Amino acid sequence: MSRERPRRATLPPAEENIKKLENVIHEGNYYGAQQMYKSISARYVSAQRHSEALDILHSGACLQLKNGQVTCGSELAVIYVETLVKAKVPYDDDVLDCIRKIYKTFPQIPLPQDLGEDEDMQELNEALGAAKIRVDCCLSFLKAAIKWSAEFGAHRNGSPELHVMLAEYVYSESPELDMTRVSYHFVRGNNPKKFASTLVNFMGKCYPGEDDLAIARAILMYLAMGNLRDANFLMDELKKHAQYKEHDLHQSDLIQFINHLLPTLQRDALPLFNMLRTNYKSNIDREPAFNERLDEIAELFYGVQRRNPMQGMFGDIFKMMG
């Protein structure tokens, strides 16, 4: 007589498990809850009940983060995005709202100021370490979400809204601010007004000589993507702010170059473009990446083929041999 296979227990509605797991969190058993969130959601995925798995993971990520459990919360947030990919969930406003809710629960904690004593320095070091963990965790989640959005229906660079979230969090929470990274994501976003206010805030606390570099970098990044509209909008917004005037940025040679460049790109003026590059070469050379951005701009706006560095190198060798 053949044995009957044991039947798999039928999974209850996700809401039952969500409530049960909420109680485990409220009891303070964050680690235990974490293992349960992962194992229970995996059962729903195996049963092809992806929507309920997503509900469980979303609830868990938000609850862990609200309770300051950043590592646990971000792990569930990343699994949430991985489940979106597995289920081939298309990008839409509803899912974007769910991702935004998780993002909003990531802690935002100002770093301690005016510290001097040894104990205070220890407190600062601990705060810096915690901030780095928060930023790394949030970045892991949002980068995964951007990748999913690019694959399943958003812009080819990923959701502009998600890029703005990432830029905001890096700017506000990073213990070591990387304005290049902040700018990279803002220019792939859809909120140049917010980018302008972020740059104005940066101008109020940066070292001398960093302000005009940050502005030029932002404008050139927009232009290298062919986005002349937002480049002009950003520059116009910056000029409205007192910080721009207080820093005498209109006197910066690099900003003068940008002010000449923007109208030049609105017409067929390759000779003028090249002349500007030559006249302001020493200012452009302050940041090595600027020349690469300008090569990309020349290709986009004027059809100039970029020189292959390897071809140039071999050409120079052949010249030396001849």
pLDDT in tens, 147-191: 999 999 878 999 999 999 999 999 999 988 899 999 999 999 999
pLDDT reading at 131 higher than 70: yes
Predicted local distance difference test score (pLDDT) of residue 120: 72
- Quickly state the pLDDT bin for 246 (edges 50, 70, 90): confident
pLDDT reading at 312 higher than 50: no
pLDDT tens-place string over residues 27-60: 999 999 999 999 999 999 999 999 999 999 999 9
- Quickly state the pLDDT bin for 207 (edges 50, 70, 90): confident
Contact predicate 236/200, CB 8 Å:
no
Contact predicate 57/90, CB 8 Å:
no
Predicted local distance difference test score (pLDDT) of residue 241: 83
CA–CA distance, 47 with 5 (Å, rounded to integer): 18
- Quickly state the pLDDT bin for 314 (edges 50, 70, 90): very low
Task: Classify the C-alpha dihedral 286-291-292-296 as positive or negative.
Answer: positive
Q: Which of 7-16, 61-70, 285-294 has the lowest mean pLDDT?
A: 7-16
H/E stretch holding 126:
helix 118-151
**Phi, psi values for residue 303, rounded to 5°:** 70, 20
CA 215 to chain centre: 18
Q: For the residues 115-135, what does the mean pLDDT come to?
A: 79
Q: For the residues 295-302, what does the mean pLDDT come to?
A: 96
Predicted local distance difference test score (pLDDT) of residue 148: 97
Question: Helix H segments across 211-308?
Answer: 211-224, 228-240, 242-246, 253-264, 270-279, 281-284, 289-302
* pTM confidence score: 0.88
pLDDT reading at 113 higher than 80: no
Predicted local distance difference test score (pLDDT) of residue 265: 97
Contact predicate 214/199, CB 8 Å:
yes
pLDDT reading at 3 higher than 50: no
Q: Which of 130-139, 258-267, 302-311 has the lowest mean pLDDT?
A: 302-311
Q: How far is CA 251 from CA 132, 141, 182, 207, in A?
A: 37, 41, 25, 17
Q: How far is CA 30 from CA 43, 61, 99, 101, 220, in A?
A: 20, 11, 22, 20, 46
Predicted local distance difference test score (pLDDT) of residue 227: 97
Rg for the chain, CA atoms, rounded: 25
CA–CA distance, 183 with 168 (Å, rounded to integer): 10
SS3 188: coil
Per cent of the chain over pLDDT 70 is: 89
CA–CA distance, 24 with 59 (Å, rounded to integer): 13
Predicted local distance difference test score (pLDDT) of residue 309: 53
